[in-house]
Amino acid sequence: MGVKQAIKNLDAFPRAEEHLLQKTQSGALVSIVGLVIMTTLFFHELTYYLSTYTVHQMSVDLKRGETLPIHINMTFPSLPCDVLSVDAIDMSGKHEVDLDTNIWKLRLNSHGHIIGTEYLSDLVEKEHAAHKHDDENEHHDDADKKLHALGFNEEAENMIKKVKKALDNGEGCRVYGVLDVQRVAGNFHISVHGLNIYVAQMIFGGATHVNVSHMIHDLSFGPKYPGLHNPLDGTVRILHETSGTFKYYIKIVPTEYRYIWKEVLPTNQFSASEYFSPMKEYDRSWPAVYFLYDLSPITVTIKEERRSFLHFITRLCAVLGGTFALTGMLDRWMYRLIEEVTKASGTRAYR
């Protein structure tokens, strides 16, 4: 008996007789409020436990011999697709003009609606067919004689006519696709540099008349991961009665995103600044939109992680226990307050 009694004395939760317990309306109200609060906090903690958070780590970039994917999606509302080219050059000296690797051009009318789709590698064949059709419908005039006098062949003449007609109709162009370049510093630019300089002169009448207004819908250097923000997305630069060259300076940071299920997504994030150089009458260069990029030697690893179950239990006990203790204190205070008010009212009635 002594051992059992000693164990009973350790009970921190003694039970009172049922007839000694008193239930009140105020206690019921506090109990309901406490139950609602505890249920809300429980689901909040459960959601917090099931959600993931990210941890950032940095290390030296050791990648070698890989290519850098550049995702482009841009609109040029004032330049037809026939004059636009995508050129790239890097520090190794590799220079590619009018790239046709996974790049598409969408012809747009003056309202921005698509009126034709062309894959760059197929442009040559399509242009030849279109030129033959145009020759049947167009009359030779004084302009044709001038072009012949300058030594242009029939293809160049048809090109000039076609582009001038597109400019008169207010055609624009949307350029989108993926460039795979070497993983070294360099630049790529979208311009009219793919044209023969004399053809460009005949079309525009000078570099100051080339309008490189543009909208950047998407510019990225790899697949997107949760929380990634590309700073140039949504950029709009419209020129009115002027021309010039846009230069975007980009710092690329190699990034690895590790999902909670251990899948690794290699990609890149970047920061950017921009500079605009207006054209002057004596400038010999032609307007363009340049993207000059450089790679950081540091790789950022972003890891998804989940909180431990012990952490969840600890927080759950803290919030539920705290709520239970607080509602118990509130119940006692309300009971004493009501008891005091009732006694005061009874005393006054007796008098």
278 vs 84: CA distance, rounded Å: 20
User: Do 269 and 177 belong to one domain?
Assistant: yes
Structure confidence at residue 209 (pLDDT): 87
Please report, for residues 17, 35, 121, 335, the alpha-carbon distance to residue 22 in angstroms, rounded to integers and kept in the order given. Answer: 11, 20, 88, 11
* 271 and 208 in a common domain: yes
Cα–Cα dist 218/230, whole Å: 8
Are 207 and 336 found together in one domain?
Answer: no
336 shares a domain with 187: no
CA torsion sign, 64 to 65 to 66 to 72? positive
Helix (H) or strand (E) holding 117: strand 114-119
Same domain assignment for residues 272 and 229: yes
Say what the alpha-carbon torsion angle 188, 191, 193, 194 is, to the nearest 10 degrees: 90
Are 234 and 318 within one domain?
no
- This prediction's pTM: 0.71
Residue 137 lies in a domain: no
Q: What is the pLDDT along the chain (351 residues), one digit of tens a residue?
A: 577 777 777 666 666 666 556 667 777 787 888 888 888 989 998 998 888 888 999 999 888 778 889 999 999 999 998 888 888 888 776 666 555 568 888 989 888 888 876 655 433 333 333 333 344 344 334 444 444 544 556 777 787 888 888 888 889 999 999 988 888 899 999 988 888 788 888 888 888 889 999 999 999 999 999 989 999 999 999 998 888 999 999 999 999 999 988 889 999 999 999 999 998 877 788 899 999 999 999 999 999 998 888 988 998 899 888 888 888 888 788 777 877 777 777 666 555
Domain count of the fold of the chain: 2
Amino acid at 263: E
pLDDT at 293: 95
Residue 269, in any domain of the structure: yes
Task: For residues 190 and 215, state if they share a domain.
Answer: yes
**Which domain covers residue 81, as residue numbers?**
62-114+153-296
Please spell the DSSP secondary structure of 247-280, one letter per residue.
EEEEEEEEEEEE-TTS-EEEEEEEEEEEEEEE--
Helix, strand or coil for residue 85?
Answer: strand
